[in-house]
Amino acid sequence: MRLQAPVLTPVVIEGARLRLRQSTPADAQAVFAMASDPGVMRYMDWPAPQHIDQTRAYLEGCAARWHSGRDLHWMIERKADGLALGCAACRPAGHSADLGYFLARAHWGQGLATEAAGLLLGWLQRQPQIVRVWATTDHANTRSAAVLQRLGLQLEGVMRQATLRPNLGGPPRDTCLYAWVRKVRPIAAESDIP
């Protein structure tokens, strides 16, 4: 069961070069343009949209899911001019949250994915109820793995034949699981109490 999102989910998260801004259906054209690039969508576990109406419907659903706390979706914008560069999202569920992101190809290799995902990870880490943040990536997606490693997520393992990649086709592919875990003090067992 999904629980409510952490209290006071920010509509905007500011960084040095970027800001994350809650997405709206008005972002459909920008998201559709980015998601129409086969290179951007190659390793995603959801199919590339075939028409802008699919993207608009998805973003309309994001608004409903935002209010329910099930799925939080932001646009990644360049602060200097407000240009949409990609998307970032997380799904809080009790003590943990998963996160994901994608960036338009023209902006790869500039440290922007690391900054954007870092903004989201940093916000999640400041939520006291969140003790685990995790993300997955295709075993061959070395760029995304490098971003997650730079953020301090640890490789926990490779889930063999775990994920269908509809934009690649073929059988399920190996998926790497990365996570950050807050150090928490264990609660003493009743037998440990004098």
| CATH number of 179's domain | 3.40.630.30
Whether 1 is covered by a domain: the verdict is no
Cα distance between residue 64 and residue 171, in whole Å: 33
Token pair recorded at residue 14: 């500011």
d(C-alpha 152, C-alpha 132), whole Å: 12
**Is residue 103 situated within a structural domain?**
yes
User: Residue 66 and residue 39: Cα distance in Å, rounded?
Assistant: 28
* 55-105 pLDDT per residue, tens: 999 999 998 899 888 899 999 999 999 999 999 999 999 999 999 999 999
Structural domain count, the chain:
1
Residues in the chain: 194
On whether residue 3 sits in a domain, the answer given is no
Contact indicator for 18, 77 with CB cutoff of 8 Å: yes
- Confirm whether 4 is domain-assigned: no
pLDDT tens per residue across span 138-160: 999 999 999 999 999 999 999 99
Tokens representing 174? 């190996």
32: domain range?
12-192
